[in-house]
Every structure is written in C-alpha cells, then in structure tokens.
Structure 1
Amino acid sequence: MKEHVFLPRKLDVAAFARDAASLEGAWPAAEMQRLAESGAPDAPAAAWPAVQWRLRGERREPRGGEAQVWLHLQAKATVQMTCQRCLQPVEEVLDIERQYRFARNESEAAELDAESDDDVLVLSRSLDALEMVEDELLLSLPLVPRHEVCSQPLVAPADDLDAADEALEERPNPFAALAALKKGKA
C-alpha cells in the first residue's frame, strides 16, 4: 500500500484522519502576517522564535453511527506585544490545544455545533494548517497585554501636561451659566 505524503498547507483532512497520520514542524512567526501585525512595533516578528505546531488525524467509528473525522492541533508561540501600562514590548507565551470534528456540509456542521461543545468545521479537500494555527493563536492573544510589574512607569511628556493644565484653566465652569440665570431671576 502506498503511503500518503501530507502537506500542511494543502491538507486532505479525510485521508489524514483515515491514516491516523500526524505532522509537526515550525513556521517562522513572520510568515503569519496577521499575528505579526498584532505584535509590538519595537519587536518585529522576524526576531520572535518559530511557531511550533503538531497535527494529528483521527477517525472515530461509533457503534451504529457514521465514521467521524477529527483533527487535533497543538501549537506554541512566543509573541511580543505592547504592554498597555508602560507601552514597552511584553512577551506573551501562547500554548494552545484544540480538536475539531469535521462535518460533510454546512447544515450538518450547524446541527453538530448546536448539539456539542466541540469545534465543528466543514470538511474540505484542502485545509491550510498554517492559516488554522494562525487563527487559533490570534484567538488566544490577551485582550490587554501587560507586564506583571512594569519596570518603567508611563510618564506623559511635560508638553502634554502643560497643555492639559491650560485647557482646564481656560474651560468655563459649566455651572456658571446656571448661576447667572438664577441671579437674574432673583
């Protein structure tokens, strides 16, 4: 029997699961453009460690039911994001583990998705694993990246502080007009 050669950028998921195959490797973080764009401008993705990933296919055959196609994904990445406290780069380690069940069509996927907590995708002839890994890494990014303890507190430039003070001094008191109206009635 001829053994399949599986390509992660054009993965035949049904055959991959049928063969209970597995793939693993590393991609430069810079190849994941959307992930790279989410990083800190001071720390380009080209300097980040490579994204490590592993895929494993599985075919489950429940009693009295149709065979199920599953894909297991593991990935690990280290990204540099902008700390929202000090605005300096902060290292975030992303470690994900997901499993997907595949359905034959959209309606079956919607039905299975409503019935279970599993991630359900529509089976296609060619799956781009790099895109799938990137999607999962993006979903696992922290909403507000920050250091546990920032080494440098954010200090506003003196010009900005002076401008803010001047704006407060020049702004009229909103209740002054009410006071003037009240005095006019008395």
Structure 2
Amino acid sequence: MKPRAFVPEKLDVAVFAREDGSLEGEWPAVTLQRLADSAAPEAPASGWPALRWSLRGEIRQPKGGKAQTWLHLRCHAEVALTCQRCLKPVTEALDIDRWIRFVESEAEAEALDADSEDDVLALPRHLDARELIEDELLLALPLVPRHETCPEPLAHVDDDEEADAELERPNPFAALAALKKSGGSA
C-alpha cells in the first residue's frame, strides 16, 4: 500500500498521527505575512533565509487511558527586527521545538491546558500547519529586540546640554501667568 501524501496547509492531524506521518520543508519567510510584517524596514523578509520546519505525528497509549494524538513541531527561522536601542536591524534566531497534544473538544483542551505544561489544542478537521508554525514563530519573537552590543555608539545627550535646552525653551505657563496679571485682556 502506497503511503498517504500529506499537505501541510490541510493536515488531518488524527490520520497523520495514526500513520506516524512526518513532513518537512522550507518556506520563504516572506510567505508568512504576519511574521514578515515584523521585519526591520532596512531588512525586509524577502532577504531573510528560508525557514526550515518539520512535523511528526504520533499516537501515545498511556496505561489505563485512551490513546492520545500528538504532533511534534520543529522550526528554525532567522528574522531581522528593529533594535530598540539603536534602531538598526538586529538578526534574531528563532528555534521552535514543541509537542502539541490534540483532544476532542475546546472544553477538554481548556481544562487540560490549565493543568498541563504541554500545549493542548482541540483537534480540528484540517489543520493549517503553515498558520500554526507562523503562530509559534510570532510567539517566539523577543518582546524587546536589541543587539548585545549595538554596532554604532548610541547618541548621548549631556545633562548640561539638556539643562541649556530647558532654559532656552519658553515656559508655556509663563504666558498664562502674564495674562492673569494683566487682567486677562489680550
């Protein structure tokens, strides 16, 4: 019997796991639109290396329990984000290595997810693995991307320069005080 061909954008997770299926591939980062939108303006996603991914399904049979459907997701991507210190592009490597358990209903997923360290999702009829991988990559993005050491020294304003600038700036309340003293007539 010929092995079944699985398509990542329309994956039947239950069958994939039952048949110990595995898939792997590469996608241009620009094809993951939400991830590409996070790119630094000077380093668009079209210049990023292709992201590599793999999926493997399996059925686990715990003692005294019912069979469990699992999906192992691995992904590697390199993205260029804007450093929040120097505002230049900073390359970040994102590595995902996650097991996801699938259960019959949203309620069961919610109950198990609260008590478990594992990721638990409701079993969909067809899973878009591309969307799942993009979600996982977005969750792996650093909250504040920055270089360990910025490539250019940061602009530094001396306290004296800052104080001088304050003195030169007119106080907006001084004009109001003058109006009050003159009786409010302009």
Deviations 1:134-184 (A, max 9, x none): 11111111111111111213448xxxx99x92686312689xx8xxxxxxx
Gaps of at least 5 residues in structure 2 are 178-186
- After the TM superposition, which residues 144-155 of structure 1 pair with which residues of structure 2 at under 5 Å, given as runs? 144-155=144-155
The alignment status of 1:143 with 2:169, answered yes or no, reads no
Structure 1 residues 70 and 168: CA distance shift in structure 2, 3 A: farther
Offset at residue 63 of structure 1 (A):
2.1
What amino acid is the match of 1:118?
Answer: D
How far has the Cα of 1:120 moved from its partner?
0.4
| Partner SS state of residue 147, structure 2 | coil
Give the secondary structure class of the aligned counterpart of 1:145. Answer: coil
Question: What's 1:169 paired with?
Answer: 169
Q: How far apart are the structure 2 equivalents of 1:116 and 1:85?
A: 37
Contact 1:85 1:153 in 2 (8 A): no
Alignment size in residue pairs: 173
The reply to whether residue 43 of structure 1 matches residue 53 of structure 2 is: no
C-alpha displacement of 1:29: 0.1
Q: CA–CA distance in 2 between the matches of 1:110 and 1:88? A: 40
Q: Are 2:72 and 1:52 aligned?
A: no
Q: Secondary structure at the match of 2:7?
A: coil
Q: Deviations over 1:57-86 (max 9, x none)?
A: 010111221110000000000000011111
C-alpha separation between the residues in 2 aligned to 1:63 and 1:171? 76
Q: Which runs of 5+ in 1 are unaligned?
A: 178-186
